[in-house]
Amino acid sequence: MIAAALVCLLGCGTLFAQDKGYWRAASANANQTTGDIVISDSKLTIDFLGYSLAPIRKLTQIEVGAAFDVDVNAAGGGDMYRLAIPGDKRFLHKNTLCGSEETQWMVTYVDGSTLHVAFFSGASMPVLTAEALSNSSDVCGIFSYGR
């Protein structure tokens, strides 16, 4: 009985922290710009530099589908975060995340052992619908990472 309760607690905790930890760059975008990343409860680390990270809310499956072009019935969860990465901050190969704009939002989606990350500029919280994203100038890029 106690073992079953511990398994449930550990499993439930994992569901709410799926994007936490060390992630290896998997997409060409990630390999050219960020390299590997680390996400903790309060910090995003890119290229050995830490940036404060504030969790905002869980994403709905419809938002995940719109942001990452995945089936809205797919398993996994997504999260939205607030952060502040200066527009002039250069990462690998002298690339920036959002051109000259400050990166202010990050959304994540975990699918098995793959983490998808989208960065956004703009002071307003991004609207994660297919229509809004297709007309938005605040979408900076989508990156993929693996474990």
69-78 contact pairs (CB < 8 A, 24+): 70/109, 70/111, 74/111, 75/111, 76/18, 76/109, 76/110, 76/111, 76/112, 77/15, 77/18, 77/109, 77/110, 78/107, 78/108, 78/109, 78/110
Residue 9 has pLDDT above 60, yes or no: no
Q: What is the pLDDT of residues 37-91, one digit of tens each?
A: 999 999 999 999 999 999 999 999 999 999 999 887 876 779 999 999 999 999 9
Q: Cα(63)–Cα(107) distance, rounded to whole angstroms?
A: 10
Q: What is the pLDDT of residue 135?
A: 94
- Tell me what percent of the residues of the chain surpass a pLDDT of 90: 81
Which region, left, alpha or beta, applies to residue 93 given φ > 0 means left and ψ of -120 to 50 means alpha? left
Evaluated on CA atoms 20, 26, 30, 34, the torsion sign reads: positive
pLDDT category of residue 2 using cuts at 50, 70 and 90: very low
Stated as kind and residue range, the H or E segment containing 131 is: helix 130-134
Q: What is the pLDDT of residues 91-111, one digit of tens each?
A: 999 999 999 999 999 999 999
Q: Cα(143)–Cα(95) distance, rounded to whole angstroms?
A: 13
Q: Are residues 73 and 92 in contact, defined by beta-carbon separation less than 8 angstroms?
A: no
Q: Are residues 78 and 71 in contact, defined by beta-carbon separation less than 8 angstroms?
A: no
Q: What is the pLDDT of residues 123-136, one digit of tens each?
A: 999 999 999 999 99
Residue indicated by tokens 């009985």:
1
Residue 142 has pLDDT above 80, yes or no: yes
Whole-prediction pTM: 0.86
